[in-house]
Amino acid sequence: MIFKLHRIPDRFIFRVIFLLIILWNLKYLFLIVQVPFTMLFVDYFGKNSFYSQVNDIKNSVKNIKDFQDEGKIGFVSDTAQNSVFDKEGSIKNFYIAQYAIVPSVLKNDKLENYVIGAYENSHQKVTVPDGFKIYKKINDKTYIFKRIDK
């Protein structure tokens, strides 16, 4: 014979537990409502410009036969060579180019046969390093130069 130790019906206990679960989850309701509105105000342009810059360089480089054979690629920018790593924009351009040309190594000089030029100010005229020619224009800010004096 089974004896009930309490006189509260099971249906009531179930409803109370269910109500507690619902109330516990309501505190997370604001997160569900917040997510779509948060996505509207996030600046995705900066993130997408990074990936589009990397993809532009990768796609341009893979069409050049002897580019990856060099192993080392030079780098120039509109910033002076000795202060490339002092300014945020030039550091960003350097590492974007390095990321795009892996497994080759990017060097901050003009001693290699190929040089990637990344310029912050796309409005001013691009200065081609001495002994080089513009081999390929990737976009308004990025160029590939090839040595002509060897």
Q: How far is CA 125 from the centre of its chain?
A: 27
**In this predicted structure, what is the pLDDT of residue 85?**
87
> What is the C-alpha separation between 142 and 119, in angstroms, rounded?
6
pLDDT value at residue 149: 75
Taking the model in full, what pTM does it have?
A: 0.67
Question: At which residue do the structure tokens 């990397």 appear?
Answer: 54
The reported pLDDT for the residue numbered 6 is 62
Spell out, as residue ranges, where the chain has pLDDT lower than 70.
Answer: 1-6, 39, 44-47, 122-124, 150
CA dist., res. 94 & res. 75, Å (int) = 7
Closest CA to 94 of 70, 115, 63: 115
Which pLDDT belongs to residue 106? 93
Q: What is the pLDDT of residue 57?
A: 92
pLDDT at position 75: 94
Predicted pLDDT at 89: 85
Q: How far apart are CA 118 and CA 98, in angstroms?
A: 11
**pLDDT of amino acid 21:** 87
